Structure 1
Amino acid sequence: MKTNPDALLAALCVFIDDHAAPRRRIGRPPKPADAELLCLAVAQVLLGFPSARHWIRFAHARLGHLFRYLPQQSACTKRLNAARPLISQVIEALARQVPTWHDDLRLIDSTPLPRAASRETVKRSDLAGHCGYGYCRSHSRFFWGFRLYLVTTAEGMPVTWCLANPKTGEREAMAAPLERDHHLVRQGQVILADKGSAGKEFETFVSGRLGAHLVRPDRKDEPVRHGRIARVRQWIEAVIDTLKGRLSLEQHGGGTPAGAFARTGQRLPALAAGIWHNRTTGAAVKRSPIAYDH
């Protein structure tokens, strides 16, 4: 199997049909099919088109040999916004195909997703009431938008995720995807988090509700427990860097709650599909999307 965009999209379409596509509904089948729609969304991310309008124009001109039917931009946006359950199903199905799914380690972290830079934009935005102001310690700046909370395997394969208002407590927001998808965390697994997860209530939730073990960097005001784990923490930092640097996470462009969820989620199956296909083809670097960006 070749490592190129055409091969990945063909393999992904077959995989979605076999493992994650919903049952056919009564009536005329939608065009494009759900599997083709998600493959189209993945291709948009891998080929570097943050703008949906520019992407559809490019797809009509260059990708007719891969997709039998290509919708217009408005129809594609509506279908993708409604495909949020399918996105989660595909991410989980792809994650179950890689060897690190069976490992006893899960990584969890969060990152800011700024959505506006001016007060007037904040007032007019359809995301008002969902987004909020937060502080990014990594860049020493305030922002208005969401925070993405992401759970991955050790190699960076996404497992589950959520978007939260930055004013929501970090431990509370971390607990939400773990509680919702608690079946994705097995008894005895280690969840590696950052210092923001420090707290007896959250540790009790992880150990009591999930049956897992929480490991995080030690704070200065507590006894030594886990020692220096900065090197391992860099693994998920590298995953987030790939999402932002290679897959244009911060340029998702979702202007409504449904659009923000779908456009953010669009990046995660693209990352998952790249890792899955790189493993299938025996690529040396499993998380690199470079082979699919042209």
Structure 2
Amino acid sequence: MTPDLDSLATALYAKTDDLLKESPHLALWRPEIGIEPKLSDAEPVALAVMQALLGYVSERRWIRYASSHLQHLFPYLPGQSGYNRRLRKAADLIARVNRLLATDTSLWTDDVWVVDSTPIECGRSRETVKRCDLAGWAEYGYCASHSRSFWGLRLHLMCTLRGLPVAFALTGAKADERTTLLDILATETDLVAARPGQTLIGAVETVARLHHTVRGRRLDHAHKTALDLVREHDVNAQEDLRIRSMVKASVSRPDPKRTGVFLSNGAAAKAGLNRSINDAGWGVFLAILRAKAEASAGGGVTSSHEYTSANQLVRTRFLIRRSPDQPLE
């Protein structure tokens, strides 16, 4: 056991014990007459926080590790089932300890918080939905970020820009993110009571839904335009564009006369051009046009991207109109 972990365990235990002395209502209720517990209320909380900090996901592995390395600090350690029962009963106490630890860090003073949600899938088969104990809590919902439906819950998390969790809520899959945020702030009024200028960014789900709508409209426009081209023209010729090479970033050019200085390479203008090319979706449209042309009676041809302007093989980038009996040049 290293001295740093010894100090961490001691500090967590002392912090939790001081909190229980200041707020005795957070301690677990026990009858006045009974067997004295072998494990105090502060010990499982300190162990739970250390388990999270050290990255132990499995409670069984953590108990084995603690029995081997923390026995001199925690003389009695329960089994996995007993440890889990104590943690579930001390959920409110663990939340208060986590809040105290968070307020002691410099990250807590950030004036911008981010709110987002993520789906928690609880089952996929119909039998699981019928028999699962989460029936009534879990429900069907849609995740715009992943473009899929799921059955389960949704975790809403409020955190700082550098990733420190501030508050969370577990709701059904159809719960609105903004309504859940208002409920969190109404429940924990002390979060923003002393922060009149606090900024909350919670439009992630709305932006994802708008991106999904725009993506669907662009695909619909590409399919309709390609279908019109195939119906109106007997043969469709397209330039074999190297789109991946077209959107490469500009190569930096060092200044041979000055060390550590680079010459102007038009990176800003090239970045704007790359965004325009990706935004236009040439590759998606050409793939759709090629598939529809191959499925039609006319068909399509692809010309090389080299010297197309000089040879004038393709008058326009996407099509050549000709009569059915005219040979292709």
* Contact 1:195/1:218 (8 A) holds in 2: no
Residue 11 of structure 2 corresponds to residue 11 of structure 1 = yes
State the SS of the aligned residue for 2:96. Answer: helix
Q: 1:87 to 1:218 in 2, by over 3 A?
A: same
Residue 223 of structure 2 corresponds to residue 189 of structure 1 = no
AA aligned to 1:13 is Y
Say which of 36, 39, 45 aligns to 2:43.
36
Q: 1:65 to 1:130 in 2, by over 3 A?
A: same
Separation in 2 of the partners of 1:219 and 1:137? Answer: 9
Matched ranges for 1:199-278 at <5 A: none
* Contact 2:154/2:170 (8 A) holds in 1: yes
State the SS of the aligned residue for 2:128. Answer: helix
Separation in 2 of the partners of 1:155 and 1:79? Answer: 31
State the SS of the aligned residue for 1:67. Answer: coil
Residue 144 of structure 1 corresponds to which residue in structure 2?
Answer: 151
Residue 67 of structure 2 corresponds to residue 60 of structure 1 = yes
Q: 1:20 to 1:160 in 2, by over 3 A?
A: farther
The alignment's C-alpha RMSD in Å is: 3.3
Q: Which runs of 5+ in 2 are unaligned?
A: 214-329
Matched ranges for 1:168-179 at <5 A: 168-179=175-186
Say which of 98, 114, 122 aligns to 1:107.
114
* Contact 2:142/2:174 (8 A) holds in 1: no
Q: Post-superposition shift, 1:61?
A: 4.1
Residue 285 of structure 1 corresponds to which residue in structure 2?
Answer: none
* Contact 2:145/2:209 (8 A) holds in 1: no
Separation in 2 of the partners of 1:80 and 1:157? Answer: 22
Q: Post-superposition shift, 1:12?
A: 1.9
Q: Post-superposition shift, 1:99?
A: 2.5
Q: 1:66 to 1:105 in 2, by over 3 A?
A: same
AA aligned to 2:203 is D
State the SS of the aligned residue for 1:122. Answer: helix
Q: 1:122 to 1:188 in 2, by over 3 A?
A: same
State the SS of the aligned residue for 2:145. Answer: coil
Q: 1:63 to 1:220 in 2, by over 3 A?
A: closer
Q: Post-superposition shift, 1:39?
A: 2.1
Separation in 2 of the partners of 1:67 and 1:177? Answer: 36
Matched ranges for 1:71-90 at <5 A: 71-90=78-97
Separation in 2 of the partners of 1:87 and 1:190? Answer: 27
Q: Post-superposition shift, 1:93?
A: 1.1
Q: What's the CA shift string for 1:102-154, capped at 9, x where partnerless?
A: 33222211122223343323322222211222233333333322211112233
State the SS of the aligned residue for 1:112. Answer: strand
Identity, % of aligned pairs? 43
Say which of 80, 98, 111 aligns to 2:105.
98
AA aligned to 2:198 is Q
Q: Post-superposition shift, 1:29?
A: 5.7
Of the structure 1 ranges 19-28 and 45-54, higher mean CA displacement relative to structure 2 is found in 19-28
Separation in 2 of the partners of 1:55 and 1:61? Answer: 10
Q: Which runs of 5+ in 1 are unaligned?
A: 199-215, 222-294
Q: What's the CA shift string for 1:251-292, capped at 9, x where partnerless?
A: xxxxxxxxxxxxxxxxxxxxxxxxxxxxxxxxxxxxxxxxxx
* Contact 2:44/2:87 (8 A) holds in 1: yes
Q: Post-superposition shift, 1:20?
A: 5.7
TM-score (norm 2): 0.53
Q: 1:177 to 1:197 in 2, by over 3 A?
A: farther
Residue 135 of structure 2 corresponds to which residue in structure 1?
Answer: 128
The answer to which structure, 1 or 2, has the higher relative contact order (CA under 8 A, 6+ apart) is 1
